[in-house]
Amino acid sequence: MILVLDVGNTNITFGVYKGLEQVTSFRMTTKIQRTSDEYGTLIRDLLKNNGIHKEDIDGSIVASVVPNIMHSLTSSLIKYLATTPIIVGPGIKTGIQLKTKNPRETGADRVVDAVAAYEKYGGPVLVLDFGTATTYDYISEDGSFLAGVTAPGIRISAAALTENAAKLPAFEIVKPDTIMAGDTVTSMQAGIVFGQIGQTEYIIRQMKKETGRDDMKVIATGGLGRMISEETDMIDTYDPMLTLDGLARIYLKNCDPK
């Protein structure tokens, strides 16, 4: 079995795979500074709680957008799981051609999403990831990553409201029953959620228009992707495990068959 790790700005999401079949998944917060021993102990215990022994792990792969934790994290995998992880970055095989102006600027998480979306759903495909940032990435019919849009994530937008306006309270991110809000909290919920739906639909329409590909599939992932997907018919599929699936696929392309 292999351990895949998606290191985001908010959470580290783990998956355990047999080939392309997911056995289990779990997560921990990213924002706490940890030593390699702390990471190792936590990962080992989380695996055990999910019925996986450390001896069951034959390899690992990491995609990260948080460079400052990578030394401790990779050291923990080597020390506690006896596996040297593959790091998603320049030089590894993905099956996707990065044809943006500066391919090295493309985040590892976006590459991984692109691999999974293209291999699972075919191209052309537009991948939406509702994470700390909301991203929209276009992969062509021949597997070329051609363009991406980056916008503030839903939680970032909500935090900006409450942190920069003294009288606005913290609020839960849920879709209100109506956009005709009658109180402060509901008005903020309406602005954030309906605003995100509007942004999503406009960007999808514009990318279809500029590529001339009305037939592109639209795949969403990420924590709040389900809520947005349920509110628009412009998203074809919500796939919560897209990133983890992509990591497993990239591992198989790069692992030593021995």
Phi, psi of 13 (to 5 degrees): -105, 130
Catalytic residue among 6, 45, 58, 109: 109
To the query of whether residue 109 is one of the catalytic residues in this protein, the response is yes
- 34: buried, middle or exposed (CB in 10 Å: 19+, 13-18, 0-12)? middle
Counted residue by residue, the chain has a size of 258
Beta strands in 77-176 (DSSP E): 86-87, 97-98, 125-130, 133-139, 144-152
The two most distant CA atoms of the chain are separated, in Å, by 64
Active site residues: 109
